[in-house]
Structure 1
């Protein structure tokens, strides 16, 4: 079950010109990691102000940066373990910046919405913890699932656009994150079983 992650190959093809241009110019994949984090910071600011219409393209840029760093590294043949670390740090920073903006927006509406978004923020880290823990034990790094990075971005924009849905959206994030983490761990367990 891949969720919107199944669209990654399609999205990568849409970004093909950017990959080719980066390859021609010899750009570092780290430039795209940084661009993704900066886009996430701007999106977090837009979410904090309730500007869902501005957050939407900024989160698309955030996802593009997260996609391009790996695509450029592979195209240029410069993949490296430290690049993996930077990619993961960039993804986590991007998530936290987005959720911080949404938490600020939620605080403007109700304490219940703020608490729900904060709980969702913590739950949203579980799929990555599951994947990285399994990868540390030698399993394949698993992505996707019913609630991955792309779904979290879409739900954050929806929560900003319709603040009265923030608690319900947060519940979806918590349940979806738990399910995604469980599925990733089940996959890893099957792979690591002697």
Structure 2
């Protein structure tokens, strides 16, 4: 149930030429958002100060421009690659302020409590849509009495002077729209959670690998020395040959004495 919001693609197509012209002149999307708020101020002033049915034409023209600017600012930002978080925030705040300003134009025409109730109810659909988007659901727009329908009802009040009945319809219809959007968002989130649970259950469980029990490390034995290399108590490494006489080695202890010159001479003669 999208209401008049279903005409948005057709309306955006009609504005495509203007959008290209604004992009060629490098007009900021934020400027269009502010222009929409200014148009809402003008429509509220015409509704409050001009009698019916004289107020119908200016209110209709200004609110049509307000809807056009609300359509153009986001589309222009996307076309020119100037989408920013600040721009999105300004767009949302601009829409809420414009709605409240239009309803404020009924203050001289209806009881204060009814104007306040209509103003509060008119913001509920947007808060529901923003809450759903924050939870992960697509942004939900439209409904029995959305932004476009509220603008049309304001034109009806300006043309007929039926401020009280129109405000009652705005208050009740906006509350119903909020409920419709809340139900839709709740179902979408429920389906998403169910799909996630099904996908999680269908995923193959990871097979657990057997954990090997720790075993005691194998002890390494040192090879026992062979009998031929076994050390003995009195064994010593062989001494280098330093010219000692064989008779000078006795037992296990080697006694050395210096050679006399005569001995060295005898050795030298024997080697020639």
TM norm structure 1 = 0.91
Partner of 1:65: 69
Tell me how far 1:135 sits from its aligned partner.
1.4
Partner of 2:173: 176
Count of aligned pairs between the two proteins: 187
Partners of 1:102 and 1:160 within 8 A in 2: no
Q: Which runs of 5+ in 2 are unaligned?
A: 194-272
Tell me how far 1:161 sits from its aligned partner.
2.2
Greater radius of gyration (CA)? 2
Partner of 1:55: 59
Partners of 2:36 and 2:65 within 8 A in 1: yes
Q: Distance in 2 between matches of 1:10 and 1:56?
A: 19
- The within-5 A match list for 1:120-139 is 120-139=118-137
Deviations 1:9-57 (A, max 9, x none): 1111111111101121222111110111111111111111132221110
Of structures 1 and 2, the one with the larger relative CO (CA 8 A, separation 6+) is: 1
Deviation >6 Å, runs of 4+: none
Q: Distance in 2 between matches of 1:143 and 1:129?
A: 11
Partners of 2:106 and 2:163 within 8 A in 1: no
Instruction: Please report the RMSD computed on the Cα atoms of aligned residues, expressed in angstroms.
Output: 1.4
Q: Distance in 1 between matches of 2:182 and 2:173?
A: 14
| SS of match in other structure, 1:156 | helix
Q: Which runs of 5+ in 1 are unaligned?
A: none
- The within-5 A match list for 1:1-194 is 1-50=1-50, 51-104=55-108, 106-107=109-110, 111=111, 114-163=112-161, 165-193=162-190, 194=193
TM norm structure 2 = 0.66
